[in-house]
């Protein structure tokens, strides 16, 4: 694939990171394409990501991710089922993390040295940690929908949020 | 832990456990059936509260996006270190190019745009000097030609002097200027410089800026590892965590407010990431760094292989380890990269090899920068790790012929002084005074007249020489074809600072004087003071050469401070005998260098100037280079007009050529 883009700027992330991020983002865009506005948002976000990764413009990356996240929220508001919603959010998060990590590598290490190891370790760890988050979300969703208790959901959320801020360092 | 925090903790724990309990056995809350406001109010309150928290978190994140290092923002030098590049030296004329670049569209609104007027006045001086030399015309003729534009065929160039400071444009001309993106005045200035250069015999100067100048304008300067991290160690947490948390909370809040329970679980991502960031400990710094160079005393131009190995001496795996070696400023990396990234298990070692090209001087490596992160890249620790290595590269001392060394005697030097005394050349006759040596009594006169008289001769003294190297910031201009380093740059240079050529010349001069038996000293015109009084002998000579190779004043990094040329010259003058001959080695890149040479002259020192020419290059001469040549030639002429011999030296030629016929050239081309 490297031949397809012969001259990438030095600030562009390594190819492996770029393709993984783009693949994850594409997955998210496909999943959230439940309506025309959500599809449009996702496609726009995807375009922005592709541009940012190809031309090495880090400042264009976050807006692209924000657009994708927006399309996830929109899909959620429009009634996409939570399992898909969780998966799409998971992919967006992964795309963000991998892409940002790639930009960091380009900035600090450059193109010449092999960065396969840190890319692989980082990608796998991110995938695992976010998967834990998604699983947790799915477990609660499944538990709550089984019991049909909004109170339980609320209590869990309040607990989680307050714990989060209590433990803030 | 503060009281509110403890309260929050208790509420969170109770609520969370309650939630788990309700999920586990829905029967408990089945009895509680909420209706009306009691059902919607808590939902709305929690939703709004979550959204507010998210907003606050996000705002905090935007407020201080710089990593907190406890020392404020000055602790970082900005960009990540890029030691594989040399420090960037501006090509000659960059100062002028900046002035042209600063000509803006908005100047048009001023009634008298000062920067435009100054630019034109300066260029007019240069033009007057260059044209009167090229045409042999009188000053008033030159002024007339400049005013009516008959000095050049280029209408754009002639309009620079003949036209207005703020040219009035036709609408189509205005559109054209807008398309070009450059005010017409700046364009005219560039064309005028190119036309002037052509009149002065430099046909290769184009009105466009050279490639080197564009690189100098665009490139980020190279950052040394020690500058990047003066505090030697820093820990930071990425604000990615904050972003994810805030976004997830916001989505959760939105889900509550819009009553879409499907969005609620998304908040869990924020909680997971945030929890991870809190749980993970700061990455280990237990690494040792070892650096091996293939040759610590290479010859100039040799390629030296540097191997840097990093070992994880801790007991935790380093998931993300990046390091950048502290390549010294003078050494350019020609092969490989001094940066590396890997994951390292305990006890394992990783290494990187790269090649640098040796240049003269002592080059001490900066500490290597080691950056470790946890697996998710949330926390990062940057550490400078010392591994002291010095590559010292000295040009070989030139063996002199036996004839020359044999002349190193304690006898008088060759310079004839005006003082009467012993010698061979007749000076004067005076009355005999008791104590005059009998050999100098004029016995014939005694025989003729019966009176004693004493003959005095021109006394021969050993002339002392002081080599003064101009190593001010202004002298650190690049010479030769920098370009991209590829392609055969036969002319040499490669964007080295011309000061290095001056230092090499000083080295050659010192050796030459030493072999001629002349006491020679060394001084630097630099904020970094360097001084060797004139002296003789092998040890003295070795010390001077040592200084030239290793003293920071002659280093590869331009000094930071300013130096007052007149004051510095006065200081040097106070330290040496008044008849000491001064050889001033300077690229003459600014007027202060001329001032320095003339101050030496005014203090009574015989001065000569040896000037390596930074504008001598083989290709791609832009207008800025043309301007630099024009002003430099003018300075040379001013020196020669003041009776100071000044030799112009193209640094890609061997110095011997200049030194052999330097005197004749300097005096004939006055």
B44-53: pLDDT as tens digits: 676 777 777 7
Q: Does A10 touch chain B (CB under 8 A)?
A: no
Whole-Å CA distances, B456 to B352, B427, B463? 74, 5, 20
Q: How far apart are the C-alpha atoms of B584 and B372, rounded to whole Å?
A: 50
Q: Does A5 touch chain B (CB under 8 A)?
A: no
B4-16: pLDDT as tens digits: 777 877 888 888 7
> Does position B66 have pLDDT exceeding 60, yes or no?
no
Q: Does B257 touch chain A (CB under 8 A)?
A: no
B16 to A163: CB separation less than 8 angstroms, yes or no: yes
Q: Does A2 touch chain B (CB under 8 A)?
A: no
Range ranked top by mean pLDDT from A29-33, A79-83, B276-280: A29-33
Global pTM value: 0.71
A158 to B271: CB separation less than 8 angstroms, yes or no: no
Q: What is the mean pLDDT of chain B?
A: 78
Q: Closest by alpha carbon to B255, among B245, B247, B246, B265? A: B265
B524-570: pLDDT as tens digits: 888 888 888 888 888 888 888 888 888 888 888 888 878 888 888 89
Chain B positions in Cβ-Cβ contact with residue A93 (cut-off 8 Å): 244, 269
* pLDDT at residue number B664: 35
Order the strands of the B303-312 sheet from edge to edge. Answer: B287-293, B303-312, B349-357, B332-335
Rounded to 10 degrees, what is the CA torsion of B112, B118, B119, B125? Answer: 130
B339 to A161: CB separation less than 8 angstroms, yes or no: no
The helix/strand/coil state of A13 is coil
* pLDDT at residue number B70: 36
The helix/strand/coil state of A169 is coil
Q: Is residue A12 within 8 Å of residue A54, measured between CB atoms?
A: yes
Q: Is residue B384 within 8 Å of residue B232, measured between CB atoms?
A: yes
Q: How far apart are the C-alpha atoms of B242 and B62, rounded to whole Å?
A: 10
> Does position B132 have pLDDT exceeding 90, yes or no?
no
* pLDDT at residue number B204: 76
A129 to B272: CB separation less than 8 angstroms, yes or no: yes
Q: How far apart are the C-alpha atoms of B67 and B76, rounded to whole Å?
A: 10
Out of B32, B275, B343, closest to residue A151 by CB: B32
Q: How far apart are the C-alpha atoms of A11 and A146, rounded to whole Å?
A: 49
B14 to A79: CB separation less than 8 angstroms, yes or no: no
Mean pLDDT is lowest, of B173-177, B288-292, B553-557, B653-657, for B653-657
Q: Closest by alpha carbon to B290, among B306, B274, B277? A: B306
DSSP assigned state of B80: P
Q: How far apart are the C-alpha atoms of B90 and B255, rounded to whole Å?
A: 57
Chain A positions in Cβ-Cβ contact with residue B35 (cut-off 8 Å): none
B483-511: pLDDT as tens digits: 444 433 344 556 688 888 888 888 888 88
The helix/strand/coil state of B205 is strand
Q: How far apart are the C-alpha atoms of B86 and B351, rounded to whole Å?
A: 23
Q: Which residue matches tokens 């693949």?
A: A23
In angstroms, the first-to-last Cα distance of chain B is: 82
pLDDT-derived band at A22 (thresholds 50, 70, 90) equals very high
> Does position B69 have pLDDT exceeding 70, yes or no?
no
B186-229: pLDDT as tens digits: 888 888 888 888 887 777 777 878 777 777 777 766 777 777 87
Residues in chain A: 169
Q: Closest by alpha carbon to B192, among B135, B145, B139, B138? A: B145
Q: Does B444 touch chain A (CB under 8 A)?
A: no
- Left (φ > 0), alpha (ψ -120 to 50) or beta: where does A79 sit? left
Percent helix / strand / coil, chain B, rounded to 5: 45, 20, 35
Q: How far apart are the C-alpha atoms of B495 and B295, rounded to whole Å?
A: 24
DSSP assigned state of A125: H
Chain A, chain B: beta-carbon pairs less than 8 Å apart = 227
* pLDDT at residue number B546: 86
| Chain A: closest CA distance from residue B120 (Å) | 39
Q: For residue A1, how many other CB atoms are within 10 A of its CB? A: 8
The tokens describing B521, both together, are: 């000293």
Question: Which residues in chain A (109-168) have CB-CB distances under 8 A to chain B?
Answer: 109-110, 112-115, 117-118, 121-122, 125-126, 129-130, 132-134, 136-138, 140-141, 143-144, 146-167
Pairing relationship of beta strands B465-470 and B520-525 according to DSSP bridges: parallel
DSSP assigned state of B143: H
Question: Which residues in chain B (35-54) have CB-CB distances under 8 A to chain A?
Answer: 42-43, 46, 49-50, 53
Backbone dihedral angles phi then psi of residue B583, each to the nearest 5 degrees: -110, 115
Q: How far is CA B255 from the centre of its chain?
A: 56
Chain A positions in Cβ-Cβ contact with residue B352 (cut-off 8 Å): 113
B15 to A165: CB separation less than 8 angstroms, yes or no: no
Averaged over B442-446, what is the pLDDT?
Answer: 87
Q: How far apart are the C-alpha atoms of B428 and B212, rounded to whole Å?
A: 62
By CB neighbour count within 10 A (0-12 exposed, 13-18 middle, 19+ buried), where does B153 fall?
exposed
Q: How far apart are the C-alpha atoms of B373 and B492, rounded to whole Å?
A: 43
Q: Does B320 touch chain A (CB under 8 A)?
A: yes
Pairing relationship of beta strands B581-585 and B607-612 according to DSSP bridges: parallel
Q: Among residues of chain B, what percentage have pLDDT more than 70? A: 81
Q: How far is CA A66 from the centre of its chain?
A: 10
**Strand (E) or helix (H) holding B233:** strand B233-237
Q: Closest by alpha carbon to A48, among A28, A32, A68, A23? A: A68
Q: Does B301 touch chain A (CB under 8 A)?
A: no
Q: Does A81 touch chain B (CB under 8 A)?
A: yes
ipTM over 0.85: no
The helix/strand/coil state of A92 is helix
The tokens describing B247, both together, are: 């976004």
Q: For residue A37, how many other CB atoms are within 10 A of its CB? A: 13
Q: Does B262 touch chain A (CB under 8 A)?
A: yes
User: Which residues are registered as beta bridge partners of B372?
Assistant: B321, B381
* pLDDT at residue number B616: 76
pLDDT-derived band at B71 (thresholds 50, 70, 90) equals very low
Q: Is residue A58 within 8 Å of residue A12, measured between CB atoms?
A: no
pLDDT-derived band at A94 (thresholds 50, 70, 90) equals very high
Q: Closest by alpha carbon to B466, among B614, B559, B579? A: B579
Q: What is the mean pLDDT of chain A?
A: 82
**Strand (E) or helix (H) holding B350:** strand B349-357
- A107: number of CA atoms within 13 Å, CB side? 13
Chain A positions in Cβ-Cβ contact with residue B254 (cut-off 8 Å): 73, 77
> Does position B669 have pLDDT exceeding 80, yes or no?
no
Q: For residue B483, how many other CB atoms are within 10 A of its CB? A: 17
B389 or B32, which is more confident? B389
> Does position B417 have pLDDT exceeding 60, yes or no?
no
Asked whether the CA dihedral B197, B201, B203, B205 is positive or negative, the reply is negative
A133 to B269: CB separation less than 8 angstroms, yes or no: yes
Chain A positions in Cβ-Cβ contact with residue B274 (cut-off 8 Å): 164
Residues in chain B: 670
Q: Is residue B581 within 8 Å of residue B466, measured between CB atoms?
A: yes
Q: Is residue B327 within 8 Å of residue B294, measured between CB atoms?
A: no
> Does position A23 have pLDDT exceeding 90, yes or no?
yes
| Chain B: closest CA distance from residue A1 (Å) | 23
Q: How far apart are the C-alpha atoms of B382 and A155, rounded to whole Å?
A: 41
B265 to A101: CB separation less than 8 angstroms, yes or no: no
* pLDDT at residue number B35: 60
Q: For residue B457, how many other CB atoms are within 10 A of its CB? A: 16
B349 Cβ contact list (under 8 Å, min separation 6): B309, B310, B311, B312
Q: Does B279 touch chain A (CB under 8 A)?
A: no
Chain B positions in Cβ-Cβ contact with residue A92 (cut-off 8 Å): none
Q: Closest by alpha carbon to A95, among A117, A73, A126? A: A126
B135-154: pLDDT as tens digits: 777 888 888 888 887 888 88
B11 to A162: CB separation less than 8 angstroms, yes or no: yes
Q: Is residue B137 within 8 Å of residue B145, measured between CB atoms?
A: yes
* pLDDT at residue number B37: 62
Q: Closest by alpha carbon to B370, among B385, B352, B380? A: B385
> Does position B419 have pLDDT exceeding 90, yes or no?
no
Out of B12, B262, B274, closest to residue A85 by CB: B262
The tokens describing B541, both together, are: 């000579």
Taking each helix axis from N to C terminus, what angle separates B623-641 and B94-101, rounded to the nearest 10 degrees? 130
The tokens describing B48, both together, are: 């709004």
| Chain A: closest CA distance from residue B187 (Å) | 30
Q: Is residue B607 within 8 Å of residue B644, measured between CB atoms?
A: yes
A147 to B26: CB separation less than 8 angstroms, yes or no: yes
* pLDDT at residue number A21: 92
Q: Where are the beta strands (DSSP E) in B156-286?
A: 233-237
Q: How far apart are the C-alpha atoms of B62 and B325, rounded to whole Å?
A: 32
B457 Cβ contact list (under 8 Å, min separation 6): B420, B421, B422, B423, B424, B425, B426, B427
Hey, of B80, B261, B341, which one would you mutate to test binding to chain A, going by the most A CBs within 10 A of its CB? B341
* pLDDT at residue number A153: 67
Q: Closest by alpha carbon to B229, among B342, B377, B380, B340? A: B380
| Chain B: closest CA distance from residue A132 (Å) | 8
Chain A positions in Cβ-Cβ contact with residue B34 (cut-off 8 Å): 151
Mean pLDDT is lowest, of A19-33, B43-57, B175-189, B537-551, for B43-57
> Does position B662 have pLDDT exceeding 90, yes or no?
no
DSSP assigned state of B474: G
Q: DSSP string spanning B285-326?
A: --EEEEEEES-SSPPTT-EEEEEEEEEE-SSS-EEEEEEEEE
Q: How far apart are the C-alpha atoms of A1 and B635, rounded to whole Å?
A: 57
The helix/strand/coil state of A52 is helix
Q: How far apart are the C-alpha atoms of B644 and B283, rounded to whole Å?
A: 64
Q: For residue B126, how many other CB atoms are within 10 A of its CB? A: 20
Q: How far apart are the C-alpha atoms of B393 and B330, rounded to whole Å?
A: 11
| Chain A: closest CA distance from residue B324 (Å) | 8
């Amino acid at each position: 694939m490297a031949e397809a883009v012969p001259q990438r700027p030095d600030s562009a992330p390594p190819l492996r990171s770029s393709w993984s991020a783009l693949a994850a983002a594409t997955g998210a865009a496909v999943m959230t394409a439940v309506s025309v506005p959500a599809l449009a948002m996702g496609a726009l976000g995807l375009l922005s990501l592709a541009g940012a990764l190809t031309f090495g413009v880090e400042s264009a990356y976050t807006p692209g991710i924000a657009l994708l996240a927006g399309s996830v929220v929109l899909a959620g508001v429009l009634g996409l089922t939570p399992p898909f919603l969780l998966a799409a959010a998971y992919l967006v998060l992964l795309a963000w993390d991998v892409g940002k990590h790639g930009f960091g590598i380009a900035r600090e290490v450059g193109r010449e040295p092999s960065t396969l190891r840190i890319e692989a370790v980082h990608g796998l760890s991110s995938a695992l940690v976010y998967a834990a988050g998604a699983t947790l979300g799915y477990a609660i969703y499944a538990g709550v929908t089984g019991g049909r208790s909004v109170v339980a959901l609320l209590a869990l959320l309040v607990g989680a949020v307050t714990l989060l801020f209590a433990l803030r360092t | 832990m503060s009281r509110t925090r403890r309260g929050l903790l208790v509420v969170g724990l109770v609520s969370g456990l309650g939630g788990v309990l309700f999920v586990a056995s829905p029967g408990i809350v089945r009895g509680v059936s909420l209706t009306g406001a009691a059902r919607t109010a808590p939902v709305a309150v929690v939703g709004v509260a979550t959204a507010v928290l998210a907003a606050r978190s996000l705002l905090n994140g935007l407020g201080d996006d710089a990593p907190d290092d406890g020392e404020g923002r000055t602790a970082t030098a900005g960009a990540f270190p890029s030691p594989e590049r040399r420090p960037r030296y501006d090509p000659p004329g960059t100062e002028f190019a900046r002035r042209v670049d600063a000509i803006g569209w908005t100047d048009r609104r001023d009634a008298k745009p000062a920067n435009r007027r100054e630019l034109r006045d300066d260029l007019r001086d240069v033009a007057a000097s260059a044209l009167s030399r090229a045409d042999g015309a009188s000053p008033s003729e030159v002024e007339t030609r400049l005013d009516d534009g008959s000095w050049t065929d280029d209408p754009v160039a002639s309009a620079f002097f003949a036209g207005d400071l703020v040219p009035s444009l036709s609408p189509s001309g205005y559109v054209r200027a807008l398309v070009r993106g450059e005010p017409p005045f700046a364009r005219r200035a560039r064309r005028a410089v190119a036309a002037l250069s052509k009149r002065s015999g430099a046909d290769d100067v184009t009105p466009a800026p050279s490639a080197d100048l564009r690189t100098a304008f665009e490139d980020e300067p190279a950052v040394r590892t020690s500058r990047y991290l003066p505090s030697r160690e820093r820990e930071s947490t990425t604000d990615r965590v904050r972003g994810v948390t805030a976004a997830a909370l916001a989505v959760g809040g939105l889900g509550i407010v819009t009553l879409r329970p499907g969005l609620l679980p998304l908040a869990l991502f924020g909680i997971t990431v945030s929890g991870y960031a809190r749980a993970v400990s700061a990455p280990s710094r237990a690494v040792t760094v070892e650096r091996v160079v293939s040759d610590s005393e290479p010859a100039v131009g040799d390629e030296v292989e540097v191997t840097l190995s990093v070992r994880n001496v801790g007991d935790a795996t380093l998931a993300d380890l990046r390091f950048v070696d502290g390549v010294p400023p003078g050494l350019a990396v020609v092969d490989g990269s001094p940066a590396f990234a890997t994951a390292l298990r305990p006890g394992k070692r990783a290494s990187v090899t790269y090649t640098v090209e040796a240049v003269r001087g002592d080059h001490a490596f900066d500490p290597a920068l080691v950056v470790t992160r946890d697996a998710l890249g949330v926390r990062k620790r940057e550490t400078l790790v010392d591994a002291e290595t010095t590559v010292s590269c000295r040009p070989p001392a030139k063996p002199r012929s036996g004839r020359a060394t044999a002349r190193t005697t304690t006898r008088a030097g060759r310079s004839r002084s005006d003082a009467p005394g012993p010698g061979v050349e007749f000076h004067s006759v005076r009355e005999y005074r008791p104590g005059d040596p009998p050999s100098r009594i004029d016995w014939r006169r005694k025989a003729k007249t019966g009176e004693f008289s004493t003959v005095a001769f021109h006394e021969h003294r050993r002339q002392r020489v002081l080599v003064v190297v101009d190593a001010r910031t202004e002298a650190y201009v690049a010479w030769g074809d920098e370009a991209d380093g590829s392609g055969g740059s036969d002319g040499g240079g490669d964007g080295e600072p011309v000061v290095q050529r001056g230092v090499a010349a000083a080295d050659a001069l010192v050796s030459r004087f030493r072999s001629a038996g002349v006491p020679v000293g060394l001084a630097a015109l630099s904020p970094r003071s360097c001084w060797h009084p004139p002296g003789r002998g092998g040890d003295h000579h070795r010390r001077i050469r040592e200084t030239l190779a290793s003293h920071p004043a002659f280093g590869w990094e331009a000094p930071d401070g300013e130096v007052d040329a007149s004051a510095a010259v006065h200081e040097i003058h106070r330290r040496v005998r008044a008849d000491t001959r001064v050889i001033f080695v300077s690229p003459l890149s600014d007027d202060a260098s001329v001032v320095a040479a003339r101050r030496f002259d005014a203090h009574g020192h015989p001065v000569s100037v040896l000037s390596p020419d930074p504008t001598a290059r083989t290709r791609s001469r832009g207008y800025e280079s043309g301007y630099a040549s024009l002003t430099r030639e003018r300075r040379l002429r001013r020196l020669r007009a003041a009776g100071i011999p000044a030799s112009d030296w193209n640094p890609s030629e061997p110095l011997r050529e200049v030194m052999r016929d330097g005197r004749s050239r300097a005096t004939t081309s006055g």
